[in-house]
Copies of this chain bind each other. A is one copy, B any other.
């Protein structure tokens, strides 16, 4: 007799995701599909030195059970890392999570009762949609343009739906690539205060800027607005800037929320790998991060430029997009110009036949998908591959 699974599983639909992943296995394919950093940029020697330090000087800490809140030397390093970016957060005000994905899971577990509403960007991170739906959230989609979420539309939705919280990726969003402007950031914060709405700021890409640094995070800006700081839950990650394989992320939030998240984490995985945490702490302590980031920014900036130039030159008015100023992604739309397809799923299939993969945009929407949208990552292919891949896209159009 088949098992009867939990009712919460009925809330998620993963076939779209599985289809995406199947696309990636074909040999010889040029992939713009992933959300991965380029492994060629991993500082393997730096990480080797860090783990050597950790095992030589704190083997007990690195190998034994640890505090659910996180390994204290790592919390100190992350506090300093955030401080260097204008966010004043003490080590005790952040907890370490098993990747920032777990921060989302803990927010869901801690905050969402079945039927609660949560507002997300349309489009937003795919795994956020499914994560919150597993806790029974009803997701509302707020419109996004090249400058991030539309604060007036967001306020209207907040007033109408009274959500448990609003989830935003303000800096180089996935998949939107959008950068929320300073003016809009201030409007979002004012809205949060006015409606007493918790804002989750997910920030895995904020360090990957190509020109000048982005505006301060919502968390940093909230310090200037009395009462606002407690309304921001901020999620950080080392996955895009050091190594996803460590699974080291973190979250800062008001004390009551953080305490409940720690309680939930205790029964989710007890604590994040202290082996990975001690390694990350030693890496940050050794001071290599600024150089690693500078290198990453330069490489990704070059690739983003190559992709933007190629798309304009080869696909012309058949696609529209905004050149990203950081992150890993182009977000584009098929315009239908010249009678060409506006169906991104169809375009993705034809592209596979031509030997290039990307992700159609529909699954990134919690509601009202734009079927002409699609996401291209420029992170893992070098400039030559990017140019070759865009030639293939042209053939697929």
Contacts and interface: CB of A to CB of B under 8 A. Distances in A.
Interface in A101-120: 101-102, 104-105, 109-113, 116
Nearest to A135: B6
A263 B14 contact: yes
Given A98-B273, A244-B64, A267 B111 contact: no
Given A8-B109, A109-B8, A130-B267, A55 B48 contact: yes
A247 interface: yes
Contact of A105 (B2, B268, B272): B268
A206 B270 CA distance: 21
A47 interface: yes
Contacts of A5: 110-111, 256-257, 260
A60 interface: yes
A321 interface: no
A36 to B, nearest CB: 5
B102 A269 contact: yes
Given A127-B266, A256-B3, A246 B109 contact: no
A65 B99 CA distance: 11
A112 B275 contact: no
A278 B245 CA distance: 10
Contacts of A12: 263, 267
Nearest to A279: B275
A33 B63 CA distance: 19
Contact of A63 (B42, B254, B264, B272): B42
Interface residues of A, number: 75
Given A105-B268, A273-B246, A44 B63 contact: yes
A342 interface: no
Nearest to A136: B6
A263 B279 CA distance: 29
A312 interface: no
Contact of A109 (B6, B60, B110, B254): B6
B243 A9 contact: no
A51 interface: yes
Contacts of A269: 97-99, 101-102, 105, 247, 269
A1 interface: yes
Contact of A245 (B42, B48, B63, B105): B63
A98 B249 CA distance: 14
Interface in A1-38: 1-9, 12, 14, 36-37
Contacts of A267: 12, 101, 104-105, 127, 130-131, 134
A86 interface: no
Contacts of A101: 267-270
B62 A245 contact: yes
17 contacts: A3-B257, A37-B64, A39-B64, A42-B63, A44-B63, A48-B51, A63-B244, A63-B246, A65-B239, A98-B272, A105-B268, A127-B267, A130-B266, A247-B272, A269-B269, A273-B273, A275-B275
Q: Closest 6 interchain pairs by CB?
A: A245-B274, A131-B267, A63-B243, A98-B269, A63-B245, A247-B273
Interface of A: 1-9, 12, 14, 36-37, 39, 42, 44, 47-48, 51-52, 55, 59-66, 97-99, 101-102, 104-105, 109-113, 116, 127, 130-131, 134-135, 164, 196, 198, 239, 243-247, 254, 256-257, 260, 263-264, 266-276, 278-279
